[in-house]
Amino acid sequence: MYIPSYYEFCCKVKTVAGHGTLERIPGLLEAMGARNPMIITDKGVSQAGLATIVINAIEDKISIGSVEDDVPPDSDLKVVNHIASIYKKKACDSIIAVGGGSVLDTAKGVNIVVSEDADDLMQFTGAGALKRELKPLIAVPTTAGTGSEVTLVAVIADHDNNRKMLFTSYFLLPDAAIIDPRMTLTLPVHIAAPTAMDAMTHAIEAYICLSKNPLSDAHALEAIEMISNNIMAVMEAPDDGDARLALGTAATLAGIAFSNSMVGMIHTLGHSVGSVCHVPHGTCMSILLPYGLEYNMHKVGDRIAELLFPLAGAKVYATTPRQERAQKCVQYTRDMNQKLYEATNGIHARNLKEITDRDQNPMVPQSKLPEIARTALGDGSIFYNPEALEYDDCLMVLTAAWQGEKLDQSKVRKG
C-alpha cells in the first residue's frame, strides 16, 4: 500500500444508484429548495427517448421550466451563454443534465453563468474564479464510462478563438448523480464496450499514476472488479439491468478515483488521437490501455501486478507467479479487447488502424501519428504519468498501437 506524505480527496456528490432512481429527482430538488428545473440534454439523447424517460419519471411531481437539447458534441461557449439566457428568462432555479460529458460540461458552464448572474462564462476563467456555491445541479449520465457526474471539471470550447477552456472548482461538482440503468439499457453494445473500457482506464490509471492515494485506490479497485465481472454480461445480454447498473456504478467509482488522482499517458495519447482524428474517446482508451501499462511497467510494475486480482479474480492471481502478474495483467486487457471485438462483430477496434467511420474509411491514417504525438505533448495528463514522455516516446507507442503489436519494452527509455 502506497501512502503519499500528502494528498487531497474530495467527493461530495450524493450518489443515488439503483432501479427506479429517476423518480427520486423531485425529492432531491425539493430538499435543495428548487422547484423549477431546466433539463439540459443533446439531440442524440432526446432522439433515443432518454430525455422523455426522465421527464415522464418526474413531471407529475415537479414542474419543468425548460428542456434544452441544443448541446453540440463538443460543448460550446456560445451555447452555454444562450442556454443561460433561456434559464433566466424561464425563471428556472436548478439544472438536470441528462447525457454524457459534453452535456454535463455545458450544464456546469450554464450553472456558473446563472449562479453568478452574469452574461458571459468568460468572466470566470482561471483558478479560484468561483467563490461560492452554485445552483442545484443533478447529473443523469446516459453512458457508463465518462464519470463526469462526479468530476469537478468543465471543458468548454471557444470555437471563435479555437481553444478549449478548462474550469476547475469544487463548486462545479454536481449536487447529485442519478445512476439508473434505464438510461443505459438501450445503449448498443458497440458503444457500451468502449465506454466501459473508458471507465476501466480511468480506474487503472488512477491506481498506477503519480497522484494515487489510498482513498482513490479503494474506488479504483472496486471499479475494476465490477467492470471486469459485468462487461461481458452486458455484451451477452444487453437488457440485463443489473449488469448495466453495475457498469454505471463502476463508471461513477472510476470517476471518483480519477478525479482525485488524475490520469496518465493513456489519456495523454487518447485525447490527442481524439482531437486530431475525431475518434470517440472510449475507443482510444480501449486500444491504448495495454500500451500505457507496458510503457510504465519498469516504473510501476508492482502496482500493475496488483491489478491482476480485481481484473482476473483470486484464482488467476493466486496461480500466477508473482513476477509474471504484471505482464499477465497487460495480456488480460488485450484479451478483453479481443472478446469485445468478437462480441460486437468486429466493431470494437483492437488497434488504431482498425478504427473506421460509418462509411468504413480509416479514421487514423498512419501519416497522422506524428501530429498526434506533437499534440500529446500539450496535454496536462502527461504530468501525472510515472515515466517521462517525449515526442519520440509518444510516436513509438502510437506506432505499436496503430499496428496492434506489443510494445517492445526494451526500447522504452527508462528514467
Partner 1 sequence: MEHFVEIKPGRKLLKRIFLSINLWFVGKAIQAAAKVDDEVKQEFDALPDGFTFSLGAFPNGPYMVVGKNEKGVVKYMGSKIDTVRLDMKMSLKSIECLFLLFTFQESTPVANSMDRLYVDGDIPHACSIVRIMDIVQVYLLPKFIAKLAIKRYPKWSLKRHTWNRLMVNLRAIAGF
Contact residues for partner 1 (CB under 8 A)?
Answer: 4-8, 126-128, 131-132, 163, 166, 209-211, 262, 377-380, 382-384, 386-388, 413-415
Least Å distance, CB 130 to partner 1, is 10
86-117 as b/e, with b when 16 or more CB fall inside 10 Å? Answer: bbeeeebbbbbbbbbbbbbbbbbbbbbbbbbe
Q: Is 163 helix (H, G, I), strand (E, B) or coil?
A: strand
**DSSP-derived pairing of the beta strands 176-179 and 14-17:** parallel
**Closer residue to partner 1 in complex, CB, 194/292:** 292
Query: CA torsion sign, 383 to 150 to 276 to 396?
Result: positive
Least Å distance, CB 209 to partner 1, is 8
Least Å distance, CB 262 to partner 1, is 7
Cell of 138: 443533478
Q: Is 352 helix (H, G, I), strand (E, B) or coil?
A: helix
Taking a C-beta distance cutoff of 8 angstroms, is the pair 293, 267 a contact? no
Least Å distance, CB 300 to partner 1, is 12
**Closer residue to partner 1 in complex, CB, 296/333:** 296
**Closer residue to partner 1 in complex, CB, 254/262:** 262
Length of the chain: 415
**Closer residue to partner 1 in complex, CB, 6/322:** 6
Give the integer Cα–Cα distance in Å for 29 and 35.
7
Least Å distance, CB 152 to partner 1, is 12
**Closer residue to partner 1 in complex, CB, 6/315:** 6
Least Å distance, CB 272 to partner 1, is 11
**Closer residue to partner 1 in complex, CB, 29/407:** 407
Taking a C-beta distance cutoff of 8 angstroms, is the pair 135, 93 a contact? yes
Least Å distance, CB 126 to partner 1, is 5
Nearest to 394 by CA among 364, 410, 371: 371
Q: Who contacts 315 (Cβ-Cβ below 8 Å, separation ≥6)? A: none
Give the integer Cα–Cα distance in Å for 341 and 347.
6
Phi-psi region of 153 (alpha: psi -120 to 50; beta: other; left: phi over 0): beta
**Closer residue to partner 1 in complex, CB, 346/380:** 380
